[in-house]
Structure 1
Amino acid sequence: MPTQSQEFDAFYAATAKRVVATVYAITGDLAEAEDAVQEAYVRAWQRWDRLTREGDPLPWVRTVAVRLAISTWRRTRNRLLAHRRHGPQDDSPELSADRVALIGALRELTPDQRQVVVLHHLLDLPVEQVARETGASSGAVRTRLSRARKILGERLADATVPSEGVVSHG
């Protein structure tokens, strides 16, 4: 039988990258996402007995990580603006045009809209689970999803329109 430490290590190894990807998609800042996720796992370890008794600890970790990241994001808005002005670090991987357009469109959503879009569409969580993890009603989640889809649809359609001077022959 695995020890508590081995159990936690296996859980971390199996879930951490996906949680980072989720928080990154919500915040648009990889460093903040990694920091928030690390802190969420530290807090999960401190409560590991209770979390595993209550069932799957992943929703708890994800919720804590998202809340930490959003809280940090709100406190450090000026630092994020400076980072955006100076661009990504040189060792950042090159992103495809589609990914850049998606990240740009996601940044135009409110934090609440971004969170429900990522949880529902990227993680395939049902609306009811998104509502539980965000503390919102199912109706509020549906409303946020609807508004976010409209904004994303408009922004992503704009991003795929050919530039002037390009003629399509059909």
Structure 2
Amino acid sequence: MRTPEDFDAFYVSTARRVLLHVYAVCGDLGDAQDITQEAYARAWQQWSRVAGYENPELWVRKVAWRLAANRWRGLRRRLAAYVRTGPPPPGAGPSPERVALIAALRRLPEAQRQTVVMHYLLDMSVQEIAAADGVPAGTVKARLSRARAALAPLLTDLEASDVP
């Protein structure tokens, strides 16, 4: 009972019971599924040893129990830290300039938008973009030119409104 096929048969015959056990322990189906999956992954990693146990399912349940307990401990630590320090400060939202830039980029055709992002945000050269996209360098230059022309009026309004 130490082959991969044996593990598959073991999993099929026991997974539902283990999942129900873990679900009863933690009370959340999503967490129970995650924990059960992790417990079986650990069993698979040590299958040559676990398969020799008298009751491999018991071993998987114990591992799942420990994983669930560790989650609760982590949650309790996070809750205690939250009580000590209070809620985190609110995150700053995106600046108006960033919102306007993203809105303007969304108005470009996909190929132009991708080219602009690679060139200006990722600092890729025309040749690097051409190689990445599998297009001639002239195509990249044309996309950049068209994108600049389309973005100019959209972003000029933003610059003019920022000046007091």
What TM-score, normalized to structure 1? Answer: 0.42
> Structure with the greater relative contact order (CA < 8 A, sep ≥ 6): 1 or 2?
1
> TM-score scaled by structure 2?
0.44
Bigger-Rg structure (1/2)? 2
